Structure 1
């Protein structure tokens, strides 16, 4: 049987997802040709902001790599645009003079960014934020220029602004409306979001209409309709998108705001279909992912002549992270005279919830800060459920399992990738899947933002029943592999793997060269397992660690010399003052870790600054011991019962420069008054009559956690021994980028206690720690500052000399 010729115009998410559905139904029915204007295979446009922000790389957001096209016998033309269609002869023509006949044609031309028609919009330095090339252009500009203006306070604009902040630029966000994201959030949630983003460094100009982009050949600033002006080197237009219908219009295919289609995505022209952001269905053009995937399923069924549910429209919902903040909205978001609302606002936790009710039924919802109820609320909104159903679940009459059991099979669980409950359950049953990572690999559910993981876990438990094991719910270290941290570490040990490239090749990484998430993790695990043999791969480290400074929002760096136990002397202070004068350091700040932070140092000056300081780094940028905070102790304080400075300095000298899964902070307080805040540190020591208490797993950051009491000991030597064993046990069992607060909860305090209390375990852990200590070297000249002078200082106050 001769295959029909299927041509897809557009290599984006909607079109390729439709192809995927067609291949599932009829893998051998069509000879498929795809045209894509970009020079890349199909990628997740939603994740572009993460590329701009530096959290991931282009390879990480690729949905279908080059091999996928080859494996499915798809002829792909990238960097080539279809310029005309002869719908009578059924032939398309490209800008490279290529002619291709078709039996079926799918138009998935997507959308184009809306560029404000104002004077200066054609100047150099004006860009949209729509594709990989836009990201690359902004990254290049950030290397030379420092001030950016983002026009548009919607989702796209805020994500662009966050990325530009990460690139070291100062960012103004200009928005015409009274508050941010007015299409997705109500004013209360938007105000909370604005406050959070301002704390991150964004500056907002609301109720401002841009009148002109000023400058000669390139951007120099913006002028507003009220006469105000601001300076800018880069202008990002993020004011919206419009359906890309140019080709359809020129080819005689009926268009309104989008290409007009019916419930099976058919246009009025025979054998021509449209899907995604370019299509207009029942007078609505959709820009979110879930509706586009639903459209793709309807179209795939129609084109394969399989009975399928027609596409009847979608209630719009948004569940996403905006610059690290969780937000959700669905249905109606603003009240009127005929609605009532359930509202909850927790100022301490920074969460907000509003559920709208119309005619006793749930009509909409807005969530900020905590979006766990998002899927449940969306389902109830889709069903026009009475408010009593929601109130019943609020009162505990519905569990997670009963909720997912009540969902129909066509309910979308993963909005980012359009994966339904039926897709997941079928994969679990037919493929023998037993954990979230296997479901992700098979169905792509939770592949993008990960917000649906709890629902996927519930579906696994519901489907597998007694065979479900919570302990089997491993998490892959990144999207490049399905292997968990434990599996990777075990393989490195068993196979004696010696480099990140070897690990990736031997263990079958699906992304050549890995990604920004797994490369530093593998580098850490290899160094932790073989400290005497492994040579640290600097290129696998984060930029702050490579440059030995913390990058700031203006693109400069901060430098933190180490001050053991927070104790300093005139010699150190003179060095810091001299360097500050020499390099015009604009800010010297005493940190919470009792050190001096030098802000505003240029990247090129970092090596010279460290050479002139001639002091060890405080590793304020490292995944290692940061600080050991101390109080003044018994030598000066009338309440102090122990020598907190002496013990703190000894611990800091012992453990500095040793790599850990995440940053590690310590404190030593001389009495239960706890002036060094030992109760919220990764490890805190508190002096009591006759000895010391050791606390672990504390966190004073965003996820505040009080430390747990690990044990009580009598001597400094016991503190040092137990701290070393605990420190090494965390090194050996922690997941890279996992703070001890999360590690303690995952491992269980009783398990950790049992390991540390065993004398043989303690001895072996300290031996392995000593091996790591024996080979650590400073990346610059490791001269400890004038130790004779500092030891003399300690002797004067009856504090033991620093242990070398």
Structure 2
């Protein structure tokens, strides 16, 4: 069958997305020709701001390079602007004389910057901000001039101001409104954002009307041809070597209107289209993107444009079943590094009510607008993690009466979160939208990952477009990828980046090589993997040392010089150069003789501070380095061993008093804690590991924020994993329920051994879980009994003959007392 001819005018994101969808549905239906006014392939216009700021390069923001068009058999006329459409002959003509016939025509001419009719707006140095050429001109000006003025404090204006500021210019943002980003933020959120930007050096002049842009004057006082100042209607003038106008956009419908297509009148202008994205004038001509007016609305956000593209492609492919009925929009953006989100009608009114959280000092603002127990709008500043959830509730029109008291605190605080921590991605329905910019739901991402065998975030971006625009959903997309493929997930942050500057190899490659080639020394690693220096550095040596001793226990020799100072000294160095020593108290229990030994040591070595720690131990702070061997010997003589408070190792097993004493206790928490801590003694890991055992669901030992948390219930124990009580508290996720102490130890050991074998060095369990996914861990530890038993056995083998590091570090010839630390002991 002879192919039809499809011509696309406009090589931007909306038009090319439509072509991509069409090729997926009907790859052989059309010969496709694309005209683009810019001399480039299709690029991500949203990422022009990072290019301006110097954070990205132009090649990094290309969505479809020139090779893509060639590989798809598409004829691309880059840098060729179409100036005429002959609807009778069905032909388009470009400014350079290029012509193309069409059976179907797709218009995606986008928008143009609105330049207010201000005297002097045609002076050199006055720019709009819309494309690569504008960005390059701004970068060039930043290298020559000092003063920049940005007219317009919307998102684009603020990003332009930030980029110019980062390039060394003195930047003033001028805005006619009373607060910045008034279309996306209410005044409270806008004021917080402005204060943050001012702290970075950005200046603002609000509620100001620009009267004229004035030419610069040379040393003789004569006017030049370049802009030099901005004058306001109140007579104020400020210097301006560069003026960037970011006062909004207008649909670019001039070409369509010249061809006789209906483009409206009055307030809403644009190429008017039906629900099938056909122009209302000519059914052979389709239109998508910012140039379009649909049901009286012209959209400027990328998500609605991509929705239009899907429907348009459906009809171009002759499926004829799609309808575009408009979009409910939300805006989740990162403005100069600060997260903001808004959706719906957040202005409120007489028939609405509001729930507001305003923590100015903490940099968090949340405002949810309700009407009849349904969300109709929301504004978030600083903490936007639940923006997608609020948007889903709003779009679905869900009654939130039952969860109203918890609404402000987010999705993860519904119900008894401390006892049912879960991966957010795993709990989302397939229909939930993940990427608002590109309209990609969870089900689409999961299906694509499985069908195409994707393992990296970049692959998911490429095949689904999720996280490829503003990037605010990147973390959620990574969670979905991790939960889908488990340990095969290749995290960009950990699996692909080099370990350090000594090598191009990642942690993953290094660890696999150590196991595959049975490498047992760092020298063998350096030689096998062609390290740039045979000595390594302070980043790679500790990592390789850990990978060696965890891969080949009792065979690879621990290298003390490849450990950090705390681990070499077996004590934590303090800011004044003294050290902190923490002897172990199994499960937080101690005895009068141990307390007496601690008191004696504190007096003998003149310890200035003795403190009870959060891990239920006693810390002696202010010990001189030369006293460390002696105090270690004294504690060993008293039967006490290291608490490993300094190491990437097992730290503590915190316990409550449990059923041993507490009238609420259901299980023997102290006994269980001691068993776990003795089993795990001297266990090194990618990072520090903390456990806790609570004897009942009241959870007094705070098991819900530990790497492994055990909570006693009437019928046994619940196990939680991946908690973190550090800088950012993370609630542990429910792993399983078991019935006996032996099962607690087996499951906990299997989890920790899997982490030891697959975690990257300095990666906490919470971040490892984010990378591989809880479902993967459950398969290896809970569902597969053979895998669990093998992991358990490997950990016990690694910890066989565990010795106290204080004892074994002493000079050769000293009695190396074996300290029996097995469970039976």
Q: Please give the alpha-carbon distance, in whole angstroms, between the structure 1 residues aligned to 2:34 and 2:61.
A: 20
What is the alpha-carbon root mean square deviation over aligned residues?
4.5
1:260 corresponds to 2:272: yes
1:249 corresponds to 2:156: no
Deviations 1:761-796 (A, max 9, x none): x99xxxxxxxxxxxxxxxxxxxxxxxxxxxxxxxxx
Deviations 1:704-763 (A, max 9, x none): xx9x9999896547999x99999xxxxx999xxxxx989856379999xx9x99979x99
Q: Is the 8 A contact 2:686 2:762 kept in 1?
A: no
1:33 corresponds to 2:33: yes
Number of aligned residue pairs: give it: 568
1:123-522 correspondence to structure 2 within 5 Å: 123-215=123-215, 216-256=224-264, 257-267=269-279, 268-388=281-401, 390-391=403-404, 394=407, 396-397=414-415, 407=429, 409=431, 411-433=432-454, 436=457, 438-456=459-477, 459=480, 464=484, 469=486, 472-477=488-493, 483=496, 485=498, 488=506, 491=509
- Tell me, what secondary structure is at the counterpart of 1:423? helix
Q: Is the 8 A contact 1:6 1:32 kept in 2?
A: yes
Q: Cα offset for 1:448? A: 3.7
Q: Is the 8 A contact 1:692 1:715 kept in 2?
A: no
Q: Please give the alpha-carbon distance, in whole angstroms, between the structure 2 residues aligned to 1:344 and 1:672.
A: 43
Give the match for residue 600 of structure 1.
none
Q: Cα offset for 1:94? A: 0.6
Change in Cα spacing, 1:292 to 1:226, as seen in structure 2 (3 Å) is: same
Change in Cα spacing, 1:757 to 1:377, as seen in structure 2 (3 Å) is: farther
Gapped regions of structure 2 (runs ≥ 5): 216-223, 408-412, 500-504, 515-525, 541-560, 566-572, 581-601, 610-614, 630-643, 649-684, 688-725, 729-760, 769-794, 810-825
Deviations 1:415-470 (A, max 9, x none): 233323332132133234466555334323223443224543564577x5xxx63x
Give the match for residue 676 of structure 1.
none
Q: Is the 8 A contact 2:403 2:414 kept in 1?
A: no
Q: Please give the alpha-carbon distance, in whole angstroms, between the structure 2 residues aligned to 1:109 and 1:204.
A: 33
- Tell me, what secondary structure is at the counterpart of 1:276? coil
Q: Cα offset for 1:392? A: 7.3
1:572-611 correspondence to structure 2 within 5 Å: none
Change in Cα spacing, 1:717 to 1:97, as seen in structure 2 (3 Å) is: farther
Q: Is the 8 A contact 1:210 1:224 kept in 2?
A: yes
Change in Cα spacing, 1:460 to 1:390, as seen in structure 2 (3 Å) is: farther
- Tell me, what secondary structure is at the counterpart of 2:506? helix
Give the match for residue 73 of structure 2.
73
Deviates more, 1:269-278 or 1:443-452: 443-452
Q: Please give the alpha-carbon distance, in whole angstroms, between the structure 1 residues aligned to 2:765 and 2:467.
A: 24
Q: Cα offset for 1:54? A: 0.7
1:668 corresponds to 2:575: yes
1:746 corresponds to 2:772: no
Q: Cα offset for 1:74? A: 0.8
Q: Please give the alpha-carbon distance, in whole angstroms, between the structure 1 residues aligned to 2:401 and 2:36.
A: 49
Give the match for residue 16 of structure 1.
16
Change in Cα spacing, 1:336 to 1:2, as seen in structure 2 (3 Å) is: same
1:532-547 correspondence to structure 2 within 5 Å: 532=533
Change in Cα spacing, 1:183 to 1:31, as seen in structure 2 (3 Å) is: same
Deviates more, 1:424-433 or 1:229-238: 424-433
Q: Is the 8 A contact 1:109 1:245 kept in 2?
A: yes
Deviates more, 1:394-403 or 1:128-137: 394-403
Deviations 1:264-288 (A, max 9, x none): 1100213100000001110100010
Q: Is the 8 A contact 2:81 2:95 kept in 1?
A: yes
Q: Cα offset for 1:228? A: 0.9
Q: Is the 8 A contact 1:691 1:715 kept in 2?
A: no
Deviates more, 1:323-332 or 1:267-276: 267-276
Change in Cα spacing, 1:120 to 1:715, as seen in structure 2 (3 Å) is: same
Q: Is the 8 A contact 1:7 1:105 kept in 2?
A: yes
Deviates more, 1:429-438 or 1:275-284: 429-438
- Tell me, what secondary structure is at the counterpart of 2:227? coil
Q: Is the 8 A contact 2:123 2:227 kept in 1?
A: yes
Gapped regions of structure 1 (runs ≥ 5): 497-524, 537-622, 625-650, 656-665, 674-687, 695-705, 727-731, 735-739, 764-804
Q: Is the 8 A contact 1:693 1:709 kept in 2?
A: no
1:35-74 correspondence to structure 2 within 5 Å: 35-74=35-74
Give the match for residue 530 of structure 1.
531
Q: Is the 8 A contact 2:578 2:624 kept in 1?
A: no
Q: Please give the alpha-carbon distance, in whole angstroms, between the structure 1 residues aligned to 2:767 and 2:371.
A: 49
Change in Cα spacing, 1:717 to 1:251, as seen in structure 2 (3 Å) is: farther
Q: Please give the alpha-carbon distance, in whole angstroms, between the structure 2 residues aligned to 1:270 and 1:693.
A: 86
Deviations 1:249-307 (A, max 9, x none): 11111102110001111002131000000011101000101100000000000111114
Deviates more, 1:249-258 or 1:11-20: 249-258
Q: Is the 8 A contact 2:354 2:368 kept in 1?
A: yes
Q: Cα offset for 1:476? A: 1.4
Q: Is the 8 A contact 1:149 1:173 kept in 2?
A: yes
Q: Please give the alpha-carbon distance, in whole angstroms, between the structure 1 residues aligned to 2:285 and 2:192.
A: 46
Q: Which has the larger radius of gyration?
A: 2
TM-score using structure 1 length? 0.63
Q: Cα offset for 1:533? A: 7.2
Change in Cα spacing, 1:196 to 1:86, as seen in structure 2 (3 Å) is: same
- Tell me, what secondary structure is at the counterpart of 1:218? strand
Q: Is the 8 A contact 1:380 1:390 kept in 2?
A: no
Q: Is the 8 A contact 1:692 1:719 kept in 2?
A: no
Q: Please give the alpha-carbon distance, in whole angstroms, between the structure 1 residues aligned to 2:6 and 2:360.
A: 55
Change in Cα spacing, 1:693 to 1:388, as seen in structure 2 (3 Å) is: farther
Change in Cα spacing, 1:400 to 1:342, as seen in structure 2 (3 Å) is: farther
Give the match for residue 788 of structure 1.
none
Change in Cα spacing, 1:383 to 1:693, as seen in structure 2 (3 Å) is: farther
Q: Please give the alpha-carbon distance, in whole angstroms, between the structure 2 residues aligned to 1:46 and 1:374.
A: 20
Q: Please give the alpha-carbon distance, in whole angstroms, between the structure 2 residues aligned to 1:352 and 1:225.
A: 35
Deviations 1:594-614 (A, max 9, x none): xxxxxxxxxxxxxxxxxxxxx
Change in Cα spacing, 1:405 to 1:669, as seen in structure 2 (3 Å) is: closer
Q: Cα offset for 1:361? A: 1.5
Change in Cα spacing, 1:389 to 1:234, as seen in structure 2 (3 Å) is: farther
Q: Is the 8 A contact 1:111 1:277 kept in 2?
A: yes
- Tell me, what secondary structure is at the counterpart of 2:367? strand
Q: Is the 8 A contact 2:290 2:305 kept in 1?
A: yes
- Tell me, what secondary structure is at the counterpart of 1:185? coil
Change in Cα spacing, 1:238 to 1:178, as seen in structure 2 (3 Å) is: same
Q: Please give the alpha-carbon distance, in whole angstroms, between the structure 2 residues aligned to 1:285 and 1:11.
A: 19
Q: Please give the alpha-carbon distance, in whole angstroms, between the structure 2 residues aligned to 1:185 and 1:100.
A: 45
Q: Cα offset for 1:69? A: 1.1
Q: Please give the alpha-carbon distance, in whole angstroms, between the structure 2 residues aligned to 1:264 and 1:142.
A: 45
Change in Cα spacing, 1:33 to 1:368, as seen in structure 2 (3 Å) is: same
- Tell me, what secondary structure is at the counterpart of 1:386? coil
